Amino acid sequence: MRVLLAVLFLATGATAMGQTSDLFGSIKKTISGGKGGSSLSSEDIVGGLKQALTLGAQKSAERLSVTNGFLNDKAVEILMPPQALKVEKTLRDMGMGKLVDDAIASMNHAAEDASKSAAPIFVNAIKNMTVTDGVNILKGPDTAATAYLRHSATPELTKAYTPVVDSALQKTGATKYWKDVFDTYNKIPFVTKVDPDLSSYVTQKAINGIFYYVAQEEILIRKDPAAQVTDLLKKVFGGKS
């Protein structure tokens, strides 16, 4: 009986050790990638993710900074803010739709103009990624890097992007059109006066537009070998499709 118990104990222990070995093997595989299964260093992981985000920011900025980049793209087009929808409806009902259309177009052109300067601002925000961030992102969903950047860098991006947007608002005449819309509306008898913060609104919508396409680029880089345009991107994301 004692011999039998000893044999069972040893067999159970061997099974447990085998399961533990498999577990560590799985963990090791989680932070390995690239062709041939070569292990990734922490520097590889962080460097590859930074490259992916940088490439995404640059491509997104280029896409949105073309003429009508925002205005002709329903995914990112900037419309009147929710608190101004009543203003828009009232003015359109009064035959002043062109006034509203001009304001909307000018906001979109301001975001488009500001996007020409967006890439360096986003790239600067990417620099703070840590090794822990990198490993978690690599194991995360297809837009984990974009979500990390949005969560960690939005205050910095907003601060840096606001003066760029303010300059674009003046350049494209958005400030004037915005003032015309709300001055006209606020002169209507018995209405509750409305005047949302134009700069804050357009800044946030412009940043959201960049993030939207950074996420699309991240998905593409993770899944499409043709989008893995550097050796490091191939090493980090190759085989993860």
Per-residue pLDDT of the chain (241 residues; tens, 9 = 90+): 444 344 333 444 444 434 323 322 333 344 444 433 457 888 899 999 999 999 999 999 999 999 999 999 999 999 999 999 999 999 999 999 999 999 999 999 999 999 999 999 998 889 888 999 998 898 899 999 999 999 999 998 999 999 999 999 999 999 999 999 999 999 999 999 999 999 999 999 999 999 999 999 999 999 999 999 999 999 998 865 4
Backbone angles phi, psi at 171, to 5 degrees: -65, -40
- Asked, for residue 140, whether it belongs to a domain, the answer is yes
**pLDDT score of 161:** 93
Q: Is 39 left (phi over 0), alpha (psi -120 to 50) or beta?
A: beta
- CA 191 vs. chain centroid, Å, equals 38
Q: Is the dihedral of CA 50, 52, 57, 59 positive or negative?
A: positive
- Asked, for residue 15, whether it belongs to a domain, the answer is no
Report which of 205, 63, 210 is spatially closest to residue 126, judged by C-alpha positions.
Answer: 210
Residue 76 sits in which domain range?
A: 51-237
**Per-residue pLDDT tens for 6-62?**
433 344 444 443 432 332 233 334 444 443 345 788 889 999 999 999 999 999 999
- Asked, for residue 122, whether it belongs to a domain, the answer is yes
Q: Is the dihedral of CA 41, 141, 76, 157 positive or negative?
A: negative
- Asked, for residue 33, whether it belongs to a domain, the answer is no
- Asked, for residue 20, whether it belongs to a domain, the answer is no
**pLDDT score of 240:** 54
How far apart CA 16 and CA 100 sit, in angstroms, is: 70
Q: What is the DSSP string of the chain?
A: -HHHHHHHHHHHHHHHHHHHHHHHHHHHHHTB-SGGGPBPPHHHHHHHHHHHHHHHHHHHHHHHTSTTTTTT-TTT-----GGGHHHHHHHHHTT-HHHHHHHHHHHHHHHHHHHTTHHHHHHHHHTT--HHHHHHHHTS-TTHHHHHHHHHHHHHHHHHHHHHHHHHHHHHTHHHHHHHHHHHHHTSTTPPP----HHHHHHHHHHHHHHHHHHHHHHHHHH-GGG--SHHHHHHHTT--
- Asked, for residue 27, whether it belongs to a domain, the answer is no
**pLDDT score of 103:** 96
Backbone angles phi, psi at 39, to 5 degrees: -65, 145
- Asked, for residue 25, whether it belongs to a domain, the answer is no
Provide the token pair at 135: 């490993």
Instruction: Report the domain count for the chain.
Output: 1
pTM above 0.85?
A: no
- CA 69 vs. chain centroid, Å, equals 17
- Asked, for residue 11, whether it belongs to a domain, the answer is no
**pLDDT score of 87:** 96
- CA 128 vs. chain centroid, Å, equals 16
**pLDDT score of 224:** 92
